[in-house]
Amino acid sequence: MSWCVTCVCVCCAAVALSGVASPAVRAAVLWAFRYETSDVVRAEACRAVTLLDLDGTDVIAVLQQRYFVEDSDIVRR
């Protein structure tokens, strides 16, 4: 795993553990879950969605869209 992927994973984990779900954090986490090429980062972003207790129609839409195209077992768990 590259240092960049590791850094993004650590940042996602830190944001999730902080409990801060500002609009900017929400947008960044959803973007990472939806578009990031690294499955490890998508998994960490998914974990952040759960820990931050994000909800709403936009979150549901992203989760549904990603679920249908996700091929990584790490993310699907």
Task: Delimit the domains of the chain by residue range.
Answer: 3-76
Confidence class for position 1, pLDDT limits 50, 70, 90: low
**pTM over the 0.85 mark:** no
Kindly give, in sequence order, each residue whose CB lies less than 8 Å from that of residue 46, ignoring residues fewer than 6 positions away: 33, 75
Alpha-carbon distance 9 to 56, whole Å?
Answer: 24
- CA-based max dimension of the chain: 34
Give the residue carrying structure tokens 């129609």.
Answer: 57
DSSP 74: H
| Tens digit of each residue's pLDDT (9 = 90 or more) over 7-47 | 776 777 777 788 888 888 888 889 989 999 989 889 988 88
